[in-house]
């Protein structure tokens, strides 16, 4: 349970399933902008997950070797959120803003829900 790589691949799998579901929604429903916004936000949230995991690995390695590390990547993740909102505001016809924000937040919900599921399974 408490292995970061295992957790990362499991969450990656969930997110890819979710994106596949959104693509189906984009293709077969009239709510194109909503699903496109969700796809865009979720793809960016995948980037957030990847930066979090890679910075985490680097930080642990640096702590083990007694080296220093300057940042955990908070600023780049905030900048990603800003980029998502800016793009959504630039193209309001193609991307639904609220969907982009929900998509961006997906990874945090996935991490929390996955943690609780694994915690309950371990008991």
Partner 1 sequence: MTGSLGLIAAAIAVGLAAVGAGIGNGLIVGRTVEGIARQPEARGMLQTTMFIGIALVEALPIIAVVIAFMVIGQ
Where do contacts with partner 1 occur on this chain (CB under 8 A)?
Answer: 1-4, 7, 52-53, 56-57, 59-60, 63-64, 72, 74-75, 77-78, 81-82, 84-86, 89, 97, 101, 104-105, 107-108, 111-112, 115
Q: In angstroms, give the least distance from the CB of 20 to partner 1.
A: 23
Task: Closer to partner 1 by CB, 23 or 85: give it.
Answer: 85
Task: Closer to partner 1 by CB, 6 or 24: give it.
Answer: 6
Exposed e or buried b per residue across 67-106, where buried means at least 16 C-beta atoms within 10 angstroms of its C-beta: eeeeeebeeebeebbeebeebbeeeeeebbbebbbbbbeb
Per the CB < 8 A criterion, the answer to whether 36 and 30 are in contact is no
């Amino acid at each position: 349970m408490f292995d970061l790589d295992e957790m990362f691949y499991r969450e990656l799998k969930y997110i890819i399933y979710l994106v596949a579901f959104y693509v189906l929604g984009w293709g077969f429903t009239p709510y194109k902008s909503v699903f496109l916004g969700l796809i865009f936000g979720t793809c960016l949230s995948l980037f957030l997950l990847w930066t979090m995991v890679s910075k985490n690995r680097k930080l642990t390695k640096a702590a083990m070797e007694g080296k220093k590390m300057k940042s955990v990547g908070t600023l780049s993740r905030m900048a990603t959120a800003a980029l998502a909102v800016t793009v959504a505001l630039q193209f309001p016809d193609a991307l639904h803003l609220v969907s982009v924000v929900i998509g961006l937040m997906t990874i945090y919900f996935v991490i929390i829900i996955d943690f609780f599921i694994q915690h309950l399974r371990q008991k």
